[in-house]
């Protein structure tokens, strides 16, 4: 038996990642296209993602935490690139943390007057400190300066003004227009400074609110920035998992913890090496009793529904529709890939593709398909 036979395999297509970045950069041009690589580049791996994106031409990266910024800087250097790295969750809150910002050239996204004041105490005693970004709240009400804040920027170099969309994936939502209007007014206070508002879906809004820089994340990794329309992005992630056991049960038998699914007929089942500990949704097999709306896997060319509750390390597929000769122990079922999108799995599991991606399991065997050499 192949030593990897029992392990789910995650294949990450770095060429598709690069192609997605180029598509978004072309769509947003002449605005520059940055990349959101927080949360381990949405689960696909920060280091390979940053390397591939830098090679494709991306020079600006956004992460959430300082520790992610340190990793991104290390990855960029290893790939032989410079680049700007902004820390979305804010400026340093202590002197030791500030030391990391300075040492790794990390640019704080200042979200409040308190952060601005602390950062000024750092910049006042530092030669050539990294430039900050100023984040304005235009409706999300999580982070950012409010309109009424008194902002004193003396002694604080900054090179970016930004805000963030609340509902860019819903083009008809009135919030989009009001946020674009509010942000347009804010940027007039900062002539000559790079301005950035759009995330993935924001890039596709009819108003083209690209300003000087766009900050896609989800679409880079293959997520659909246009829910309900066909996805312009290439899939980046493919997940294949092995069959561990096959059995037939009679009508009336139930499957999994708490017997959440009952066979209505004689049913062939395949038990897969995949569980909620791998980030697979616990309710994928019973979110809806309608068989055509449960999450699916592709096996031997046939889309088959999951049945019953996902366990920690196992889940069960109804393979009655597949020719028995076509599946054996160790056969692989595709969970995500060309035929099953992250948006589809998410929709059938009561969540969003962002959560599917960022939950991709730590114990998968990972393969990276390299980005093309230019
Ligand atoms: C995560 C994030 C992005 C990227 O958003 P996507 O919807 O994944 O494209 C952009 N800007 C900010 C502030 C973010 O937090």
Tens digits of per-residue pLDDT, 321-357? 999 999 999 999 999 999 999 999 999 999 999 999 9
What is the architecture of the domain spanning 14-221?
Alpha-Beta Barrel (3.20)
Identify the pLDDT of residue 2: 46
Q: What is the pLDDT of residue 290?
A: 65
Provide the residue ranges of all domains of the chain, joining segments of one domain with +: 14-221, 237-369
Domains 14-221 and 237-369 fall in the same CATH topology? no
Write the CA distances from 111 to 92, 114, 137, 320, 365, integer angstroms: 11, 8, 8, 55, 38
Torsion of CA 65, 66, 68, 72, to 10 degrees: 140
Among 282, 168, 215, CA closest to 28: 215
Nearest CA-CA partner of 109 in 125, 76, 126, 133: 133
- Which atom belonging to ligand 1 lies closest to the Cα atom of 218? 8
Stated pTM of the model: 0.95
Beta strand 315-318 pairing with 267-272: antiparallel
CATH 3.30.413.10 fits 237-369, yes or no: no
- Residue 278 has a CB neighbour count (10 Å cut-off) of 22
Q: Which residues line ligand 1 (CB under 6 A)?
A: 36, 38, 88, 164, 199-200, 215-219
For the stretch 14-73, pLDDT in tens is 999 999 999 999 999 999 999 999 999 999 999 999 999 999 999 999 999 999 999 999
Of the pLDDT bands very low, low, confident and very high (cuts 50, 70, 90), residue 3 is very low
Crossing angle of helices 46-56/66-78, nearest 10°? 50
* The one catalytic residue among 27, 86, 147, 257: 257
Q: Sorting pLDDT into bands at 50, 70 and 90, what band is 109? A: very high
42 is catalytic: no
Ligand 1 center to residue 53 CA distance, Å?
16
| CA–CA dist 291, 217 (Å, integer) | 33
Asked if residue 297 lies in contact with residue 333, where contact means CB atoms within 8 angstroms, the answer is yes
Q: Among 186, 93, 176, which residue's Cα sits nearest to residue 137?
A: 186
Least confident of 110-124, 165-179, 188-202, 284-298: 284-298
Structure confidence at residue 1 as a pLDDT band (50, 70, 90)? very low
Q: Which two tokens stand for residue 189?
A: 């206070």
The chain-wide mean pLDDT, for the chain, equals 95
Long-range contacts of 203-208 (CB under 8 A, 24+ apart): 203/24, 203/27, 203/28, 204/27, 204/171, 205/168, 205/171, 205/176, 206/171, 207/176, 207/177, 207/180
How large is the average pLDDT for residues 176-184?
98
Query: d(Cα 202, Cα 218) in Å, to the nearest integer?
Result: 11
Q: What SS3 string covers 123-143? A: HCCCCCCCCEEEEECCCCCCC
What average pLDDT score do residues 78-95 get? 95
Predicted confidence band of residue 291 (pLDDT cuts 50, 70, 90):
low
pLDDT class for 76, splitting at 50, 70, 90? very high
Is 368 a catalytic site residue?
Answer: no
- Alpha-carbon distance 184 to 173, whole Å? 18
């Amino acid at each position: 038996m192949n030593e990897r036979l029992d392990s789910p395999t995650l294949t990450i297509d770095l060429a598709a990642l690069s192609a997605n970045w180029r598509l978004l950069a072309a769509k947003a041009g002449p605005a520059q296209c940055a990349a959101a690589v927080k949360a381990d580049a949405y689960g696909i791996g920060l280091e390979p993602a940053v390397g591939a994106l830098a090679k494709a031409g991306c020079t600006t990266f956004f992460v959430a935490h300082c520790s992610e910024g340190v990793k991104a800087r290390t990855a960029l250097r290893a790939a032989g690139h410079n680049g700007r790295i902004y820390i979305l969750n804010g400026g340093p809150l202590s002197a030791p943390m500030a030391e990391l910002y300075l040492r790794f050239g990390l640019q704080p996204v200042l979200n409040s007057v308190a952060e601005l004041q602390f950062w000024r105490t750092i910049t006042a005693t530092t030669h050539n400190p990294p430039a900050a970004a100023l984040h304005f709240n235009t409706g999300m009400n999580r982070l950012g300066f409010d309109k009424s804040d008194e902002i004193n920027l003396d002694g604080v170099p900054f090179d970016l003004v930004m805000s963030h969309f609340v509902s860019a994936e819903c083009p008809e939502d009135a919030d989009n227009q009001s946020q674009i209007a509010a942000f347009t007014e804010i940027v007039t206070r900062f002539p000559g400074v790079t301005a950035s508002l759009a995330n993935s879906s924001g890039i596709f809004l009819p108003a083209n609110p690209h300003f000087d820089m766009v900050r896609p994340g989800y679409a880079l990794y293959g997520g659909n920035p246009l829910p309900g329309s066909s996805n312009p992005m290439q899939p980046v992630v493919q997940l294949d998992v092995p069959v561990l056991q096959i059995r037939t049960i009679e009508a009336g038998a139930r499957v999994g913890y708490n017997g959440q699914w009952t066979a209505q007929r004689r049913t062939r089942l395949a038990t897969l090496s995949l569980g909620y500990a791998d980030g697979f949704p616990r309710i994928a097999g019973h979110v809806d009793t309608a068989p055509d709306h449960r999450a699916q896997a592709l096996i031997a060319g046939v889309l088959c529904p999951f049945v019953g509750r996902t366990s920690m390390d196992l889940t069960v597929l109804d393979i009655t529709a597949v020719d028995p000769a076509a599946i054996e122990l160790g056969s692989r079922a595709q969970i995500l890939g060309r035929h099953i999108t992250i948006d589809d799995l998410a929709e059938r599991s009561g969540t969003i593709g962002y959560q599917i991606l960022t939950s991709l399991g730590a114990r998968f065997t990972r393969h990276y398909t390299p980005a093309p050499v230019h």
